[in-house]
Amino acid sequence: MSQDDLRVFAPGRVNLIGDHTDYMGGLVFPMAIDRGITITGKQGGTHLEVYSGYENTTAHIALPVDDPTKQSPSWGRLLAGVAAEMGATIGFKGELTSDLPVAGLSSSAAVEVATALALGHTGPALDIARLCQIAEQRSTGVPCGIMDQLASAAGVDGHALLIDCHTLEIEPSPVPDDVEIVIVHSGEHRELTNSQYATRRAQCESAEQIVGPLRTLVESDVAAIEDLTLRARARHVITENNRVRAFSQALAQGDYVQAGNLMVRSHRSLGDDFEVSTPTLDALVADLVASPGVYGARLTGAGFGGAVVALAEPGAINRGFVAKPSGGARIV
């Protein structure tokens, strides 16, 4: 790296509780972690040209970008999407590296947020997150919510973020240091996530057409939804919002037993009502929860495979890795 090189870092995230609620304007409780995506290089030129050791490939993107979906390699679509949303005409040449050890920790969002910084975005975290969310939707076709991009852009060292995805208000909440947040990968890679994610979101929106904004309802309101699948999806969103609120209070009060129970209930709801868990994820959660010193565990993120997050006494879990609550994306 020469002296006039720019180096930017955008963290991955783990969501402690509150999944499949963001796109319904609900509550989420993610934290940025101490690992993520780094982009190093120089601004200038008419191309966004970034090498990645992942598959040993280079994304070579002519600016301005018209259609980000046409890029290859496919990871280059994320960068192209950000360049398109920014209307970037001045390029960047450099290298992208990742120290995220497993999938499912929002590496895509971190790539997008890092790209925005590399291309010179200097706006507030919320603006970057919104832009990157739209970029991801446009370049992958997945109708994602804002949680991942916002956690990566707005992370606060030592804190998780209680985010109201309707008002987009962010309340940093200290993560106590007498507990550990441990991430364990299920070894299962997501399949069909894109279409299933879109289907789940559409089902929630259909439920909302019948009973009104889910974020404003109580659990018994779902009785008005006749279709049992839609009713179950709505019940997950409503009860998950309640669990996020209760979890953030329990964590703040040091009631880790209660916090852990809420994580387990969240996992069950994601499995039974939202149907995004898998037998492998269920077995991993059951196994972790049965171990001494573990308060709770749940799948984290979209589901269908990926990672599990656990809340535990320090040193209680000797697999996976301990994630530290960290600051958001920055120039380093």
Residues contributing to the site for ligand GLA (CB under 6 A): 19-20, 22-23, 144-145, 147-148, 301-302
Alpha carbon 28 to chain centroid distance?
10
273 counts as catalytic: no
Please identify, using beta-carbon distances, which residue of 91 and 145 lies nearer to ligand GLA.
Answer: 145
Sorted by sequence, the CB contacts under 8 Å of residue 235 that are 6+ apart come out as 219, 222, 269, 273
Name which of 147 and 154 has its Cβ closer to ligand GLA.
147
CB 301 → ligand GLA: shortest distance, Å?
Answer: 4
135, two tokens: 């970029």
CA distance 209 to 232: 15
Q: How far is the CB of 17 from ligand GLA (least distance, A)?
A: 10
DSSP lists the bridge partners of residue 88 as none
Task: Give the separation between CA 129 and CA 132, rounded to whole angstroms.
Answer: 5
**19 or 85, CB closer to ligand GLA?**
19
Q: Which amino acid is at 326?
A: S
Shortest Å, Cβ 224 to ligand GLA: 25
**Minimum separation from the CB atom of position 164 to ligand GLA (A):** 14
The nearest distance, CB 145 to ligand GLA, in angstroms, is 3
Radius of gyration of the chain (CA): 20
Nearer to ligand GLA, 32 or 302 (CB): 302
Beta bridge partners of 310: 182, 297
CB of 201 to ligand GLA, least distance (A): 8
DSSP designation for 316: -
Strand partners, 331: 8
Show the tokens assigned to 295: 């308060």
List the catalytic residue out of 5, 148, 177, 282. 148
Per DSSP bridges, beta strands 6-15 and 307-312 are: unpaired
- Count helices and strands (H / E) in the chain: 8, 13
Per DSSP (E only), the strands in 44-158 are: 47-52, 57-62, 92-98
Nearer to ligand GLA, 230 or 237 (CB): 237
As a whole number of angstroms, the distance between CA 109 and CA 29 comes to 16
Token pair listed for 278: 């898998």
Nearer to ligand GLA, 63 or 311 (CB): 311
Pairing of strands 321-323, 180-185: antiparallel
Q: How far is the CB of 102 from ligand GLA (least distance, A)?
A: 14
How many residues would you count in the chain?
332
Helix (H) or strand (E) holding 7: strand 6-15
Nearest residue (CB) to ligand GLA, 147 versus 294: 147
Nearest residue to ligand GLA, by Cβ distance, number only? 145
Catalytic residues, by residue number, are 148
